[in-house]
Copies of this chain bind each other. A is one copy, B any other.
Amino acid sequence: VRPAAAGFVEGMDRVLINGRPGHCISPLDRGLHFGDGLFETIACRKGRPRLLSLHLERLVLGCRRLGIRMSDPDELRRQVQALAQDSDASIVKLIVTRGPAPGRGYAPAAAGEATHVAIRYPWPEEDPDAARNGVRVRIAGLRLSENPLLAGMKHTNRLEQVLARSEWQDPQIAEALLFSQSGRLVSGIMSNVFIVRNGQLRTPRIDRCGVAGVMRRVVMREAARAGIDVRECTIRAAELEQAEEVFLTNARIGIWPVRVLGERTLAPGPLTRRLQGLLEPLLEEPVDA
């Protein structure tokens, strides 16, 4: 028995394909053939999606950049809300692809209508220590390739992330930090990264590769509102080594302090704690934007 197929049948009500319960993607879908699509991973608490407007905004922007004709974002909003409402805590993943194409070839004109998939997953079991005491992080051996035309989008070309995540099995290690081919710090595999250096909050520019995360955006916004000097810049290995504080962000975890980075031990620092405090009301009570 395939575990995936079994889990899939049990959970069939949790999948919407083009707005209807379904379990079938066309083998001609360009998402399957080329990774020709985008996704969003939306944290839902108390039956409601968190930061949904920011997720949909990024999705619309990505579809515009790729020339994918996605459906009305309000329709997707309703689908995410419908999936979220039956569950106290869940993750809803949206995937939008360019859709099935009757013929071969890369030319996007060959595609019909976009495919919209919405899948509800249970909220994963969490280590409550992660947000409180911080996580162990390694430096990935893999270096991300660079292409400004793809930077920022949460597209479905994710083989680099798959390979980077297969570099370790130790469940004590929560994440890996990735540098790019040109030696710039980019992000974690499934998170963005911030550092504090000389008391200043910095996060890598997402202009050559990486995903411009929704929680990254919220942290930058909340920091700026609180009068904290926060900037995007180029961060190389030397700067990372000198960082007083390092933390990770994503839509589900909010902020995770890094307490071990490779061979180095850090303490969750005052700016990290302050930002966690600023974020707390947004994370506990689902806030849309």
By a beta-carbon cutoff of 8 Å, the part of chain A in contact with chain B is 2-8, 15, 17, 22-37, 39, 41, 66-67, 91, 93, 95, 97-109, 111-113, 117, 119, 121, 124, 142-147, 149-150, 155-166, 169, 181, 189-190, 209
Answer whether A95 and B33 are a contact pair too, CB < 8 Å, given A3-B102, A25-B26, A26-B23.
yes
Cross-chain contact A181 with B146 (CB below 8 angstroms): yes
Cross-chain contact A32 with B97 (CB below 8 angstroms): yes
Cross-chain contact B25 with A27 (CB below 8 angstroms): yes
Cross-chain contact A147 with B149 (CB below 8 angstroms): no
In the bound complex, residues from chain B placing their C-beta under 8 Å from that of A101 are: 4
Answer whether A32 and B156 are a contact pair too, CB < 8 Å, given A5-B100, A25-B24.
yes
Cross-chain contact B39 with A33 (CB below 8 angstroms): yes
Q: Which of B104, B146, B190 makes the CB contact (< 8 A) with A105?
A: B190
In the bound complex, residues from chain B placing their C-beta under 8 Å from that of A147 are: 142-145, 160, 181
In the bound complex, residues from chain B placing their C-beta under 8 Å from that of A2 are: 99-100, 112-113
Answer whether A32 and B34 are a contact pair too, CB < 8 Å, given A102-B3, A112-B2.
no
In the bound complex, residues from chain B placing their C-beta under 8 Å from that of A5 are: 26, 100, 112
Cross-chain contact A32 with B28 (CB below 8 angstroms): no
In the bound complex, residues from chain B placing their C-beta under 8 Å from that of A91 are: 104
In the bound complex, residues from chain B placing their C-beta under 8 Å from that of A34 are: 35, 156-159, 161-162
In the bound complex, residues from chain B placing their C-beta under 8 Å from that of A4 are: 26, 28, 99-102, 111-112
Cross-chain contact B156 with A150 (CB below 8 angstroms): no
Q: Which of B31, B98, B113 makes the CB contact (< 8 A) with A32?
A: B31
Shortest Cβ gap from A78 to chain B (Å): 19
A190 to B107, CA, bound (A): 11
The 10 closest A-B pairs by CB, nearest first: A35-B35, A145-B145, A7-B102, A4-B100, A34-B158, A157-B157, A145-B147, A106-B165, A4-B112, A24-B24
A124 to B2, CA, bound (A): 37
A3 to B103, CA, bound (A): 10
Cross-chain contact A33 with B158 (CB below 8 angstroms): yes
In the bound complex, residues from chain B placing their C-beta under 8 Å from that of A35 are: 34-35, 156-159
Shortest Cβ gap from A104 to chain B (Å): 5
